[in-house]
Chain A
């Protein structure tokens, strides 16, 4: 069965520093992986996805993610954090039926000024 894990409930970084939000996955077959962000009282906003190809995926708002097959990881990164990046981040994998997303528990990112 497909699953993702986000090992950190919260990540704290200072503005201007690089940030990493971790995600590991377990899948049967090819992994289709996604990152979403949720701001308070809002729905989920799509950041980026990995289907195949380059292991470094670039997405919205300066975010990127590194796919690592040997470590079964798909970590979200940004070179320089902004206070406005503070939000809840979800990693997700597409299910085997190909029509649903299976989400991790989410990681709260807090960027201090």
Chain B
């Protein structure tokens, strides 16, 4: 079974621009989560989507948004990029089976550099 895929793998943008990152979950997985990884703040949760609905959200400004499509694929968008948005953005998918402590499986990440 194919793993979580993320595109693009690398991105370079300038301040003020916006960016869209894409994530395709493992087949059959219905939940998609996004995380930001930086050397200073470590791994931080951005948001989680299930059945096209945002179920959970981390402590990030409104410039960070996401969505999920009917095939469970997800995108996240960052508007008005700032230098501090430079990070590795990780997507994770899970079965979202009720009553179980779901395991999240991660993609390789998108490395975003803001100049």
Contacts and interface: CB of A to CB of B under 8 A. Distances in A.
Interface of A: 32, 34, 36, 41-46, 49, 51, 90, 94-95, 97, 99-106
25 contacts: A36-B106, A42-B109, A43-B4, A43-B6, A44-B90, A46-B103, A49-B103, A51-B101, A90-B43, A94-B101, A95-B56, A97-B55, A97-B56, A99-B31, A99-B33, A99-B50, A99-B55, A99-B56, A100-B56, A101-B35, A101-B45, A102-B45, A103-B43, A104-B42, A105-B42
Interface in B92-113: 92, 100-109
Contacts of A36: 106
Interface of B: 4, 6, 31, 33, 35, 42-45, 48, 50, 55-56, 58, 90, 92, 100-109
A43 B108 contact: yes
Contacts of A34: 103
Say whether chain B's binding surface is mostly helix, strand, loop, or mixed: strand
Contact of A49 (B4, B42, B90, B101): B101
A93 B4 CA distance: 21
Given A99-B31, A99-B102, 10 more contacts: A42-B108, A43-B90, A43-B106, A43-B108, A45-B106, A46-B103, A46-B104, A46-B106, A100-B56, A101-B35
A106 B103 contact: no
B98 to A, nearest CB: 10
Q: Which 4 A-B pairs have the closest CB atoms?
A: A32-B101, A43-B106, A103-B43, A44-B106
A94 B48 CA distance: 13
Contacts of A97: 55-56
Nearest to B90: A43
Interface centre among A32, A95, A99 (most CB of B within 10 A): A99
Nearest to B100: A51
Most chain B CB within 10 A, of A94, A101, A103, A106, is at A101
A95 B109 CA distance: 22
